[in-house]
Structure 1
Amino acid sequence: MKSWWSVLCAGLLLAGCASDGGNRTLKDAADDGASAGSGGGRYAMSSDAYPQQPPDVSRVPDAVPRPEPRSRAGNKSRYEVWGKTYHVMSDASGYERRGTASWYGKKFHGYATSNGEIYDMYKMSAAHRTLPLPTYARVTNLDNGRSVIVRVNDRGPFHSEREIDLSYAAASRLDILDRGTGRVRVEAINPEAWQARQKGQPTPPSTAEPDPVAQDSGRDAAEPVYLQVAALGSADNAEALKERLEGALSRPVRIASAAGLYRVQVGPLKHADQIDPVRGQLSRVGFGQAFVVNGAD
């Protein structure tokens, strides 16, 4: 009797070859319950495909950030794929990384994503290894400056050199379909802060960490403080963010490193009445989640 794996491989051969796309090989084997050694069932296909008659997706709107509970599926604190263990983040606040984006299309269209939703290649969605599901993120093509907002609802890509897997529509908007991959920056979005900005309201304070500074704008802070923008796992990414913020704000920015994290902080701010204006500047350049830390943090 042929094994289920042999039957599956035969079926895939009959399906024929497709264009390279993002070279998608495995997405949610851990959540499907398939073993890493088996290649993940239907996710074992080594190439992706364009639609035979692709529609115009240039006008597909960005995903609209909104507060959502964590998905019941796809958010295991840790999971293993191909012998490698991944740890899902408890909070996406301040997440920013640069890396390679790939895309996935026709062969996954209509199948379940890791959080149980149905993948629609014509919507603005994405897969990520460790961001909570769902997470809204801005993805910017570093080669042409194009930017989209996607909703992360899937796991992958499991190529170590890749940062994110984009839907067909998102990849098209960023102009990376033909090459299959592209250099991108991925920035998590705080939905509450994003909605407040759209309505012209003050950005709500981050709930990630308490703000130790009294909001009395008429008094000096007891000691210089900093607004922390992000805590990154890469020194290079932290340095790139530091340079970006210095150019956008014309204020000093430091990197405080500890326990393998590189915390990018704006300051020092010596007066309490400087805090809200700098928060406003950060919000206008896309960092609405900044919170106050003291000089020793």
Structure 2
Amino acid sequence: MTDTSSSSVSPAGRTVTVRVPGTTANLGPGFDTLGLALALYDELTVSVRDEPGAFVEVHGVGEGEVPTDETNLVVRSIAHTFAAYGQELPGLHLVAKNAIPHGRGLGSSGAAIVSGVMAAKGLLEGIVEIDPLGLLARATELEGHPDNVAPALFGGLTIAWTTPDGPQFKKLIVHRGVSPLVLVPQETMSTALARSLQPESVPHADAIFNVSRSTLLIAALIQSPELLLAATEDKLHQSYRASAMPETDRLIQELRAAGFPAVVSGAGPSILVLCSDPGQRLAAAELVGSRAATPWQALVLAVDFKGATVVLHPDEVK
């Protein structure tokens, strides 16, 4: 059970190390519901220090770009979690080693939020116990929807939904034949912009279409990868956002015409290809390499089955 006691105990002298996978959401038809964890990781070390405030070092992706003070998203996530359990935030020193691309539809903001929530869990170990639904609730409060933070927290394929009691999730194990390929362009895409292009209502037939494809997609991912091309069809969101990322849309159409189960990764502009065998990934990457008008990076990734981890080093005093 989650302890929401307001008594505050200092985690002085503690250091934790957190590892969080990148994610890809929607997976075509599963808009705001389905997410998949990928073996691409941000790593974070957080130490409690005597001085108040937060000091952040960023290495890798985002270095020299993201805030290095209390406005940093990871710091805000730690602070949010401490406050939710009635704990006083100590001074913090953070060292972030980031590999997840920013603004490309691979869950970088969700990973930052989960990093902070998991760091808070580790720093509060033995003081406040935070259960899985508590972690998901805190992360969703910051992210706004659970489809990215659920797989980042728990790994694998996740189905996420909300109830009056808060967000819920179900984790599923992906068939070993599923071989993700992510194609990452140089340009970025704002999630807020992508969502602004979404209509408030869609045709009834399109809603039925996506219900059928999203249920088929779960079967394809956990049992029948040969169905992935049909299962990744979508009429709810990708076509509405196509004008904001024309090359992404063009390449997805070309990939699908060639038989590859290609979709927009999250809000884009990256492309996710849910291949049914490793060899198919190479062929898909070659197609994009030969037809793209701009440079694209091909990331051959495994599915992450573990999710976010946190290790407490109680004897290290920083």
TM-score range for the pair, normalised by the shorter chain length? under 0.3
TM-score (norm 2): 0.24
Higher relative contact order (CA 8 A, sep 6+): 2
TM-score (norm 1): 0.25
Q: Pick the structure with greater CA Rg.
A: 1
